[in-house]
């Protein structure tokens, strides 16, 4: 099974850039099907209220239940104090399977790390070139699965990407996604040094073409088992570690 581990869906409300205005899926879904992508992880576009954006994503995921897997988006500063509640709602009510945090909004806090740990779901965190944050996160939460999109930098910060390759080697539960990575040899380095189990195929659809991004993985020329891991097996393993706690704790962040 081929899983695209990184795609946006729904409308943003900020209207200053493509990624905070609209993430329409029509062309994406057609392109992904043509490319042989079976399932896709989707999270909202940038938004001024992620509780609203997550609720808006839920019917989109439900409409394409066989193809889409929802991740909740939270803003670690603005949503402080309600993150556990937001993730609880996203997991239980919407059936979402992970959480996305973007460094432009705010880096992950203990509140979000403890919430994803409680549910056993992965945290996809765009570190916007600040690779050093990954050492803090993985050190403090060695039992949480962190997915670092764009190998640490959508903006082609090769210094950050070099650092992330090294972190993938050192931290057993830190993974990278391949979306938008332009310098192909860094992907080669990930597989050679950290192993195929640490790389997750992602497209950054609908903004980037999923077929183009998928072809990058094929061009790595891995053994079939390794390629299958990158194209879906690794993400599937992280999604299967989900736990559903019986009852909500009162407040994990209060002590
Ligand atoms: Zn993205």
For ligand 1, the distance from its centroid to the CA atom of residue 255, given in whole angstroms, is 33
For ligand 1, the distance from its centroid to the CA atom of residue 50, given in whole angstroms, is 15
Identify the pLDDT of residue 248.
53
How many angstroms separate the CA atoms of 63 and 33, rounded? 16
Could you tell me the residue range of the domain that residue 211 belongs to? 3-241
For ligand 1, the distance from its centroid to the CA atom of residue 206, given in whole angstroms, is 9
For ligand 1, the distance from its centroid to the CA atom of residue 139, given in whole angstroms, is 25
First to last CA, the chain: 42
Residue 95 within any structural domain of the chain: yes
For ligand 1, the distance from its centroid to the CA atom of residue 183, given in whole angstroms, is 17
Identify the pLDDT of residue 247.
53
Residue 116 within any structural domain of the chain: yes
- In the chain, which stretches have pLDDT less than 50? 249-255
Identify the pLDDT of residue 255.
40
* CATH number of the domain to which 86 belongs: 3.20.20.140
For ligand 1, the distance from its centroid to the CA atom of residue 249, given in whole angstroms, is 31
Residues 120-145 pLDDT 10s = 999 999 999 999 999 999 999 999 99
Domain count, the chain: 1
Residue 248 within any structural domain of the chain: no
For ligand 1, the distance from its centroid to the CA atom of residue 142, given in whole angstroms, is 24
Contacts of 253 (CB under 8 A, 6+ apart): 81, 83, 84, 110, 111, 114
Identify the pLDDT of residue 13.
94
3-class state of residue 157 by DSSP = coil
DSSP designation for 53: H
Buried b (16+ CB within 10 A) or exposed e, 183-210: eeebbebbbeebebbbbbbbbbbbbbbb
Residues with CB under 5 A from ligand 1 (ion): 204
For ligand 1, the distance from its centroid to the CA atom of residue 33, given in whole angstroms, is 19
Residue 70 within any structural domain of the chain: yes
For ligand 1, the distance from its centroid to the CA atom of residue 7, given in whole angstroms, is 6
For ligand 1, the distance from its centroid to the CA atom of residue 228, given in whole angstroms, is 22
For ligand 1, the distance from its centroid to the CA atom of residue 6, given in whole angstroms, is 6
Residue 254 within any structural domain of the chain: no
Residue 47 within any structural domain of the chain: yes
Residues 179-216 pLDDT 10s = 999 999 999 999 999 999 999 999 999 999 999 999 99
Residue 253 within any structural domain of the chain: no
Residue 247 within any structural domain of the chain: no
Query: Roughly what angle, to the nearest 10 degrees, separates helices 110-119 and 132-140?
Result: 50
Q: Taking a C-beta distance cutoff of 8 angstroms, is the pair 107, 127 a contact?
A: yes
For ligand 1, the distance from its centroid to the CA atom of residue 202, given in whole angstroms, is 9
């Amino acid at each position: 099974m081929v899983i695209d581990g990184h795609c946006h869906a729904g409308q943003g409300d900020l209207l200053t850039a493509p990624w905070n205005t609209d993430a329409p899926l029509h062309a994406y879904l057609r392109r992904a099907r043509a490319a042989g992508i079976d399932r896709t992880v989707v999270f909202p576009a940038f938004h001024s209220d992620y509780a609203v954006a997550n609720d808006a994503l839920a019917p989109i995921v439900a409409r394409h239940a066989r193809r889409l897997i929802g991740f909740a988006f939270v803003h670690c500063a603005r949503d402080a104090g309600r993150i556990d509640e937001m993730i609880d709602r996203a997991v239980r009510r919407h059936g979402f399977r992970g959480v996305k945090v973007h460094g432009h909004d705010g880096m992950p806090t203990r509140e979000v790390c403890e919430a994803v740990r409680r549910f056993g779901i992965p945290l996809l965190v765009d570190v916007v070139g600040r690779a050093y944050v990954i050492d803090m996160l993985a050190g403090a939460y060695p039992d949480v699965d962190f997915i670092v999109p764009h190998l640490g930098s959508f903006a082609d910060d090769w210094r950050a990407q070099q650092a992330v390759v090294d972190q993938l080697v050192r931290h057993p539960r830190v993974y990278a996604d391949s979306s938008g990575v332009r310098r192909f040899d860094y992907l080669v380095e990930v597989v050679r040094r950290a192993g195929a189990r640490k790389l997750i195929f992602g497209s950054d659809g609908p903004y980037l073409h999923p077929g183009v991004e998928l072809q990058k993985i094929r061009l790595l020329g891995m053994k079939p088992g390794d390629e299958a891991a990158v194209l879906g097996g690794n993400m599937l393993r992280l999604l299967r570690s989900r736990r559903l706690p019986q009852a909500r704790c009162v407040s994990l962040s209060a002590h």
